[in-house]
Amino acid sequence: MPSHRTFGCTEGGTAETMMVPLADMANHDFNRPTRWDYNDKKSGFTVRVVRAVGSNAMLTDTYGNKGNDSFLPVYGFCVESNNWNQARFAMPLANVYGLEIPNLRRLHVSKCAYDYNDGKHKYIDASCDTQASGSSRGGKELFSYTRAILLTANELQSLNMEGKSHLSPVSASNERKVLKLIEEVSTRALKRFSTTYEEDSEILKDEKRAPRYSWYRNAILARSGEKSTFIAYQNLAKIMIPLLQCGSVMKLKSHPEYKKLLQASKKENFSYHAVRYIENVVEPLLSSDKP
């Protein structure tokens, strides 16, 4: 079945996968003006326009919060400025201290997470959004899994891991090690590319060399999107490791890097996600008794 042209709906209280001719011809737009669902009262699939659109305007849908690494092989296109780009992180297969972690396999698996190991590494896909997971393809699974493989014996003893499908922040010390390992994995991954992110950006500026919608340009967009994600995690580690050493929320909020991120968070994607990481991870850890 061509699953990339189907719609997941609820019909009569039952989840269904539907093929809907005409509706499946809509082009992708993250900022779509439409919403769709199955209407039980009308016994049919409905598409609604939820904001004003101009005459003769194209009605678009979203194909989901996906990176260009997903759009290109599945749909055959890339988005020029894609904030949902992902990278594939090659993580250790087990706890680095040799501890047996209950439910380790469950900590990185969601409906849309990549689940594969080659006997040497566990590969996990993540976007720059460290708080998102599942269909939003964020970094929640990456952090959850990495926290587990960096648990010390004392930390593991203090946790109840039975039945867990997500491991929340454990301690400031554990989180610093998590960021450091993700930074190291990102650095190794970037070294395997034959070009740098900056070189890719220069290629994309030249539309004679890389014409819009060409396969060559799409390949560069997908490749540079992966690199930009690795770079974002490198930068996240460089900023957050010192912030996790502040010792208190008061010291954190007086830190110049914190103030800089806060000011940029409304207009810059990296800063927005960095501030969310501070709010959801750094501040709670500094407020707790977990050094």
Cα torsion through 23, 24, 26, 29, rounded to 10: 120
**pLDDT band for position 6 (cuts 50, 70, 90):** confident
The residue behind tokens 């047996």 is: 100
pLDDT tens digits, 40-89:
999 999 999 999 999 998 999 999 888 999 899 989 999 999 999 999 99
Residues of the chain with pLDDT > 70, as a percent, come to 93
The residue behind tokens 């999107």 is: 225
Per-residue pLDDT at 289: 62
Task: Calculate mean pLDDT across residues 130-152.
Answer: 84
pLDDT higher than 90, residue 136: no
pTM: 0.90
**pLDDT band for position 171 (cuts 50, 70, 90):** very high
pLDDT higher than 80, residue 146: yes
DSSP state of 279: I
Task: Look at residues 170, 134, 163 and name the one whose alpha carbon lies nearest to residue 149.
Answer: 170
**Pairing outcome for strands 116-117 and 86-91:** unpaired
- Contacts within 8 Å (CB) and 24+ apart, 272-280: 273/128, 273/129, 273/130, 273/131, 273/232, 274/236, 274/239, 274/240, 276/129, 276/130, 276/131, 277/130, 277/131, 277/236, 277/240, 278/240, 278/243, 278/252, 280/130, 280/131
- The helix/strand count (H/E) of the chain reads as 10, 7
Cα separation, 76 vs 70, in Å, equals 9
For the chain, the average pLDDT equals 90
Residue at 183: amino acid letter: E
- Among the listed ranges 155-164, 211-220, 236-245, which one has the minimum average pLDDT value? 155-164
Residue of higher predicted confidence among 121 and 3: 121
**pLDDT band for position 1 (cuts 50, 70, 90):** very low
Residue at 44: amino acid letter: G
pLDDT tens digits, 97-109:
999 998 887 776 6
Per-residue pLDDT at 110: 54
